[in-house]
Amino acid sequence: MNGRSDSAVRDGSAAAPVRPASKIPEVETRRVVIEHVGPHVDDGRFPIKRTIGEAIDVVADIFADGHDLIAARLRHRRVSGPGIGDSGVERETPTASTDWRELPMQLVNPGNDEWSARFEVDEVGWHEYSVIGWVDRFRTWRRDLQVKFEAGQDVALELVEGSLLIGEHAARAQQIGSSAADANWLLSEADALSDATPVAERVARVLHEDLATLMDTYADRSRATTSEPLRVWVDRERARFGAWYEMFPRSLGPDPTRSATFAEAARHLCYVADLGFDVVYLTPIHPIGHSFRKGANNSLQAGPDDPGSPWAIGSEAGGHTAIEPGLGTFDDFTAFCEEAERLGLEVALDLAWQCSPDHPWVREHPEWFRHRPDGSIKYAENPPKRYQDIYPFDFESEDWQGLWHALLDVTLFWVDRGIRIFRVDNPHTKTFGFWEWLIDRVHAHDPGVVLLSEAFTRPKPMRRLAKEGFSQSYTYFTWRNTKAEITEYFTELTQTEVREYLRPNLFANTPDILHAYLQEGGRPAFEARLLLAATLAASYGIYSGFELTENRALKPGSEEYASSEKYQFRHWDWDRPGHIKELVARVNQIRHQQTALQFDRTLRFHETDNPQIIAYSKHAPDDEAAIVYVIVNLDPHNMQHGHVRVPDVADEEAIFVEDLLDDARYRWRGAWNYVRLDPGVRQGHVFRIERQV
């Protein structure tokens, strides 16, 4: 009577209206709860990132009502197609390209229902993973049977129950047609629980792990709970590890009064390769505008022979898909790239989405730019600085879709010519959604393309760009010079959620940034910053001149270079006194030899009793004993000494440490050991720890 007594109806009181029967959603019958699946970025809105061969440690909270045991599996697969975004431009939905692969999850924290499993990604592109869990009726029955039997209770009915349960699994084996042999074997096990064999023997039989393994294979998952898939973008190794060398190809010729050609610049590639670099990054190679061209040291008046800034892109010779005539032709560029490849170098180009007033697009698509009330196009500004030689695009223009597609076409133009690495200029001044859309499209064309975000901006915009799909990011490394600053910043980059989507690339200098530390510290400052950049992060870079300890600033208090190569040809003496070329080459060699330095996640800082000495270590992801231990004197002016703590060393343990910089070996004892670092002698150690057996 719908919960009401007969007397309540007979005495004439009003009866509650009868609710129509409603269908209970099937999900309500699922007993297993799956929460907090990770790693993830913004609850799965953006993918986490990995490179080929890297592992993903998946964690989840998995539990159910009552005391039944749970089975949980990690599922992962390769998918094709871009991810889901909100840019407003047409996008594709990912589709599965491989079947789910499953791994058992382990209950790592029984008191708090925490489960984990690990899988590796072995193919560039999109992947996804999820967690599935269900009540494990067989293992629950087996656990209870064992407890009752060991307590001396009668388990006859429990054995009958188990026989029926095994029979159900045998029926599923027959239904899915996996293996008639499996089904027959399970039926024989079910029958064995009902025969006259002594109870102890039958109990021992069901405790055998072979039975449990096969029961897992044909478990009843009809009421399993499955988490929503989380995405993973997998890059090739270069997105994780590499040393970059930035250079102006026009400055690499024999005549300082004119632009070098690609053929002349190609002769310099041996120098770059000998230093041990992996990537040679060219500043923009496109035609440079003449209108409002900047002169030497960024002066407003250019002389007749001043080449202008390469970032003022576009002239009568063409735009973003053309080459500056002084550098040569496309055939010359192709030959340059082939020579780089022969030497083991990859060529990276600059993507700078801006135009000079002479760019063909200014005439053909004036709607792609912002205009002043008088109708003139607005040039770039960062008040009080003005850049009259550059017109920024208007990403909110009426024809924004046309602009976006044009920029995608430019990117793919260079990808189709073999360029698979790009440094992207000032991406934080462009619409965030544009980058997610463009990077998805580029990766759909070639998933091996690597894009470096050159965004020196506030932390949250910088992180958002990384989430949108950039393979690597510039950082605040240049302005982190004290022990406290370095420790705090790199702990954030390597030990928090940030590491799931932002890969740092530490540039020790750029054409725009000559930090006061380098200006004032002399050669020891360059040595210290090289050691830090090359060992704190798996990817780092220098702008040419760093290895020559070039430290002349435009004026006191400025981070701009004197005689900036951005505005004039430079003729370098590559063997001038005071260079650190041998150290650069040695450090790059060590990076290739030591797997620990090719990853960021294992970075750990260690105690020192001197704030001017910093110590940290990394180990190979698959070998915690393969440790590289780095010590650097942060003071370029004075000798510093003190004690440093060696990781995971007992108080009286004896170890050997080998300095990979000069092959010197030292015998240390205990966790704390003494070091002395003299500027001009050695600015740091890069130790390999050898434990005595």
- Give 591-594's long-range contacts (Cβ < 8 A, gap of 24+): 591/241, 591/243, 591/276, 591/534, 591/535, 592/276, 593/660, 594/626, 594/628, 594/660, 594/688
Cα(277)–Cα(543) distance, integer angstroms: 12
Residue 65 tokens read as 């009502």
Contact 598, 287 (CB under 8 A): no
Instruction: Give residue for tokens 């993507």.
Output: 351
Provide φ and ψ at 175, rounded to 5°: -65, -45
Cα(77)–Cα(684) distance, integer angstroms: 45
Q: Return the exposure string of 673-685: e unless at least 16 CB atoms fall within 10 Å of the residue's CB, then b.
A: bebebebeebbbb
Would the CA dihedral through 508, 511, 513, 515 be positive or negative?
Answer: positive
Residue 271 tokens read as 């120098």
Residue 533 tokens read as 């950049």
The answer, yes or no, to whether the previous bond of 461 is cis (omega within 30 of 0) is no
Pairing between β-strand 450-454 and β-strand 472-473 as defined by DSSP bridges: parallel
Catalytically active residues are 425, 454
Cα(394)–Cα(367) distance, integer angstroms: 8
Pairing between β-strand 346-351 and β-strand 279-282 as defined by DSSP bridges: parallel
Rounded (10°) angle between helices 199-206 and 180-192? 150
- Strand-pairing partners, residue 349, are 422
Cα(674)–Cα(680) distance, integer angstroms: 19
Residue-wise DSSP of 645-686: EPTT--TT-EEEEEETTT--EEEEESSEEEEEE-TTT-SEEE
Cα(615)–Cα(630) distance, integer angstroms: 6
Contacts of 354 by beta carbon, 8 Å cutoff, 6+ apart: 311, 313, 380, 390, 391, 392, 393, 425
Contact 604, 616 (CB under 8 A): yes
Cα(675)–Cα(631) distance, integer angstroms: 9
